Structure 1
Amino acid sequence: MAKDNTFSGMAHNALTAETTIVGKIVSQKDIRIDGTLEGRLECQGKVVIGETGQVIGDIVAVNAEVVGRITGNVMVAEMLVLKATSSLEGDIQARRLAIEPGAVLNGKCTMLQQLDDGGDA
């Protein structure tokens, strides 16, 4: 099951290797996936998909770093990083995107606009 850890003074959640969750995860804090999630992940922090991590479903987060595999769509409000060993089969929406050589991306990418703080109503 997911558990709460302390890393660098910040609390975060972790799904360890050899663990599978089927369903939806909603997290207010950062989360690291080293196991398998079959379902949707919604995070109001940073999502890290570790080298042994796999998500089959959509991800919605503020920031994300992918080292493992995702089969599904990813919507990131800020920065998405695809590391060299990552594989993403699905569409991306992100404000900023970094793709290392060797990463696999099969899908459509839409870059989100920076919101204007002008406040015109």
Structure 2
Amino acid sequence: MFSDKKQKSIMDTSSQQNIIAHGTRIVGDIESKGPFRIDGSVEGNVRTEGKVVIGKAGNVTGTLEGVNVDVEGKFSGKLLIKGTLSLKSSAHIEGEVQVSKLAVEPGATFNATCSMKGAVKALNNGEKTSQKNDKGTERTA
């Protein structure tokens, strides 16, 4: 019975937060199922199913794929967010952003191209619409 509990806790790591501390520099790709707090520097791609928090001292350069992300520090690259991207007043973002929801506090720097998935569908109440572009080709939104 004791071994079953131990085995269960080893397998369920999705609730444990990974921390990249201030002064730590990681070069390379990171993949995890759990949440992340980044107060150091990451140069590479980060992919997680958990929440990511980039602290005030945090700096990420690369591609970040996640569900929900809070940014207080710096990010440069490509953000692919399935849920909400929250930019605090100290945030500095540069690059390309694909997100479902975006929250920006006054004072945040947001120098990025941004596309919001689901925005067209929400505006049209879920109805598909057809439009012709300048070449006469029909496009469905």
TM-score by length of 1: 0.85
* 1:63 aligned to which of 68, 71, 88: 68
- Equivalent positions of 1:108-119 (< 5 A) are 108-113=113-118
The corresponding residue for 2:31 is 26
Deviation at 1:68, TM superposition (A): 0.2
The corresponding residue for 1:37 is 42
Count of residues in Structure 1 that have an aligned counterpart in Structure 2: 106
Give, as a single letter, the amino acid of the residue that structure 2 aligns with 1:30.
Answer: P
Deviation at 1:107, TM superposition (A): 1.2
Unaligned runs of 5+ in 2: 1-14, 122-141
CA distance in 2 between counterparts of 1:92 and 1:75 reads 6
The corresponding residue for 1:84 is 89
Deviation at 1:113, TM superposition (A): 1.1
Higher strand share: 1
Give, as a single letter, the amino acid of the residue that structure 2 aligns with 1:75.
Answer: L
RMSD, matched Cα: 1.2
Higher helix share: 2
Partner of 1:90, secondary structure, is strand
* 1:52 aligned to which of 40, 53, 57: 57
Higher relative contact order (CA 8 A, sep 6+): 1
- Find runs of 4+ consecutive structure 1 residues off by over 6 angstroms: none
TM-score by length of 2: 0.73
Deviation at 1:57, TM superposition (A): 0.7
Partner of 1:58, secondary structure, is strand
The corresponding residue for 2:18 is 13
Partner of 2:47, secondary structure, is strand
Unaligned runs of 5+ in 1: 1-9, 116-121
